[in-house]
Chain A
Amino acid sequence: MSATDDKVEVLIGKLLDGEISPLEQRLLDRQLEQDARARALLEQMRVLHECSGQVVAREVRSGGADPQDVFERAWRQSKGSAWGRVVCIGGLPRFAAGLAAGFILGLILHFVPVGGSKAPIDNAGEMTIADAGNPNQVQPVLERPDSPRVTREVEWYGFTDQAGNQWLVEGFREGVATPVSYRGGL
């Protein structure tokens, strides 16, 4: 089939579908006047178009359930069971829900202390270190403060020496809160 035949077929199709413009209509009319094959094609396509319309109408449009009934059933189905909808989620929403649940669980495990473990400060009283000067004598390095007034702070300092080495220095500071009394008139 030539390009001209294709063009005529497009124009006939538009004519049958009611989409032809006045200019295209003039072109088609001229072609139909000149070409007997174009007239035969128009007749053939007209019959097929009519028949195709009937086929589609019968196959698709006519018969079947009433749209109103289908919609009502669908509405009841979709609004029926909220729990069912939750259980039936799948695909991406299911994956996202799993991810969120895992994240929440991770957060809980992070912040809730695991049973049996103790904070380092609680073990401080048991910590010992050998004295290099006297290997037989073992002295506690950290002693639990007797008085609750003792406060301890650990501070970290960054330090770069002349050679360009970087050091992280841990500073341990212990302070004792001394009770004071106010004497009026001073």
Chain B
Amino acid sequence: MGDGQHNELTLVCAARQGDKGALQTLLKQNWGWLKGVVYSVLGNAQDVDDVMQEVCVRVITKVHTVREPERFRAWLAILAKRTAIQHHRRSRPDVVAMEEPVHGGDPSDDLERRELYGRVLEAVRGLPPKYREVFVLAHSGELTYAQMAEVLNVPITTMQIRLVRARQMVRDQVAGTRPSYSEQKVHEI
């Protein structure tokens, strides 16, 4: 067990006892990928902050129910996913505004680059949630493959296959060789 994991275990145990500081540190450490999970369910960045606030409230009120501190990340991911799904059902947006990348000093300044950026964004949003989730987690650059598998609660090989499929879908969509994948049936892995 690594130092980081041991540290997280200690924090989880303290958080279960109601230690506010420990809980705050835990959430801060996992904030990036947790937002990625919420984003994957919602499919847009508009309501992510609202859902994250809801997730925080739930974590604070339910952290004492964590039975396996070593599986805290998986617990957190499930809680975030459920919260996001409930929020998504309550307020299902019909149209999501496409946000343009920031200009100036950004590598995406170049016209071709910006076009590619837009197409990738559209492709990511069009992915089925299961594939969008793994794609976002992989590109958030915060988790290893093993940690991603833990968060997704699947074997590592399943996670790798999903990631390859997600990348293929994005690549095909960007190249314009396939219609939006949200309208397609994708085999369950």
Interface residues of A, Cβ cutoff 8 Å to B? 1, 6, 9-10, 13, 17, 19, 44-45, 47-49, 51-61, 63-65, 67-68, 70-71, 73-75, 77-79, 85
Candidates A56, A63, A73, A78; contact of B36 at CB < 8 Å? A56
Q: How far is the CB of A153 from chain B (nearest CB, A)?
A: 55
Candidates A13, A58, A70; contact of B163 at CB < 8 Å? A13
Q: Let me know if A70 and B49 touch, CB within 8 A.
A: yes
Q: Is B61 an interface residue (CB 8 A)?
A: yes
- Cα separation A62 to B113 with both chains bound (whole Å): 19
Closest residue of chain B to A64 (Cβ to Cβ) is: B49
Q: Let me know if B167 and A78 touch, CB within 8 A.
A: no
Main secondary structure of the interface of B (DSSP, over half): helix
Range of interface residues on chain B?
Answer: 35 or more
- Cα separation A182 to B167 with both chains bound (whole Å): 106
With a cutoff of 8 Å between Cβ atoms, the chain B residues found around residue A45 in the complex are: 167, 171
Q: Is B154 an interface residue (CB 8 A)?
A: no
Interface residues of B, Cβ cutoff 8 Å to A? 20, 23-24, 27-28, 31-32, 35-36, 39, 45, 48-49, 52-53, 56-57, 59-61, 99, 101-102, 107-108, 113, 116-117, 120-121, 124, 135-136, 138-141, 144-145, 160, 163-164, 167-168, 170-171, 174
Q: Let me know if A60 and B171 touch, CB within 8 A.
A: no
- Cα separation A51 to B135 with both chains bound (whole Å): 13
Q: A9-B167, A74-B60 are in contact. List 17 more A-B contacts (CB 8 A).
A: A13-B160, A13-B163, A17-B138, A47-B116, A48-B170, A48-B174, A52-B124, A56-B135, A56-B136, A56-B140, A64-B45, A64-B52, A71-B28, A74-B57, A75-B56, A77-B57, A79-B60
16 residue pairs A–B, Cβ–Cβ below 8 Å:
A13-B160, A13-B163, A17-B145, A48-B174, A51-B117, A56-B135, A56-B139, A56-B140, A58-B102, A59-B45, A60-B36, A60-B48, A63-B45, A67-B27, A74-B57, A85-B61
Closest residue of chain A to B161 (Cβ to Cβ) is: A10
